[in-house]
Each structure stands twice: as C-alpha cells, then as structure tokens.
Amino acid sequence: MTVDGWLTVLTTAGNVVGVALIFAGVVRYIASGSVPALLIAMAVLVVGPGEDVLKRWVRARAGSLKEAERWETVVDRATSLLFLLLLLAAVILV
C-alpha cells in the first residue's frame, strides 16, 4: 500500500473511532450521569475537530506563512494542554 493509502486508512479509522468514543461518552453520561465519560468525550472533541477548526481559523488570519505556523503551534500546545487537563479530571473523578 502507498503512503497516501495508509494516510487515508489511518485517518478514516481515527475519525470513526473518535466519533464512536464521543458518542459513547455522551450516551454514558446521559444514561448514567458518568462525568468522566463526558470529560473524555470532550477531550477527544478538543484535539480532534476543535483543533482542526482553530488551526484553519488562525491560518486564514495570519499575515504570513511563518506567522501561520507559529499560531498553529500555539493552537497545538493549547489544545494538548486542555486535552490533558480534561483527562486528568476524568481520572481524578473515577
């Protein structure tokens, strides 16, 4: 399989698992009030679609390619931190 083929397979698999995890977390929260499950779902939203949207937003507003790259790094670090904080909260609440 080519590199592009692997990228497609892995991206699709990651998206499917991410959607399943978010759905399961929300359903578990609704069904049993599991706050850790909801926090984990939120963490996946932050580093998945949330990060993608923020990176596109800063890229579109940057004055140069270098500025865009620097702001994308800020978004990457901020979403990583929020992801870890949400997972820490989920672990503490278990």
Whole-prediction pTM: 0.88
Supply the range of the domain harboring residue 40.
3-93
75 touches 55 (CB < 8 A) = yes
The domain total for the chain is 1
Residue 57 makes CB contacts below 8 A (sequence gap 6+) with none
The half-sphere exposure of 4 on its side-chain side, counting CA atoms within 13 A, is 0
Low-confidence ranges of the chain (pLDDT < 70): none
Q: Buried b / exposed e across 40-73, counting CB within 10 Å, b at 16+? A: bbbbbbbbbebbeebbeebeeeeeeeeebeebbe
